[in-house]
Amino acid sequence: MRLLARLLAPKVTVHAHCDLPCGVYDPAQARIEAESVKAISQKYQDNSDPEFRTRALIIKEQRSELVKHHLWVLWTDYFKPPHFEKYPQLHQLFNEATKLAGAAGTKGSVSVATADELLGKIEEISKIFWETKQA
């Protein structure tokens, strides 16, 4: 039985937005997670309980990672060369947004101002995203 299980076990594990490109993309996923990061950062600053603060940091870091994930999906799966030609600032915008969600940004700090800056970048991406949907 173990031999059969080994033979049938997958040889490679892959991860993707979905198993079949569904074509369903929306920057709202990143925005919702970023709003959560901002709210958690504020709650962290307003609370001095060490256990609460530890939980808040863990959750905030997870949500920051989700922001990066949702942005990367848009950047790599939704936006195509014609979009980058029409919106030459798009690569830089995604780079800045993902860095704001990373270790030097919301993942590594509890700055509400940094979370606001991240939300601003996501809003810029969202505006471009919805313009491409109109075309």
What's the total number of domains in the chain? 1
Q: Which domain holds residue 107?
A: 26-134
Q: What is the pLDDT of residue 22?
A: 67
pLDDT tens column, 85-113: 999 999 999 999 999 999 999 999 999 99
Residue 87: inside a domain: yes
The owner of tokens 């990143």 is: 30
pLDDT tens column, 19-65: 556 678 999 999 999 999 999 999 999 999 999 999 999 999 999 99
Residue 12: inside a domain: no
Q: What is the pLDDT of residue 2?
A: 76
Residue 8: inside a domain: no
Instruction: Please say whether the beta carbons of 75 and 94 come within 8 A.
Output: yes
- Whether the per-residue pLDDT at 15 is higher than 80: the answer is no
pTM to 2 decimal places: 0.83
- The CATH number that applies at residue 99 is 1.20.120.400
Q: Which two tokens stand for residue 99?
A: 């860095």
Residue 65's closest CA among 41, 98, 96, 92? 98
What is the distance between the alpha carbons of residues 11 and 73, in angstroms, rounded to a whole number?
25
Residue 11: inside a domain: no
Q: SS3 of 97, please?
A: helix
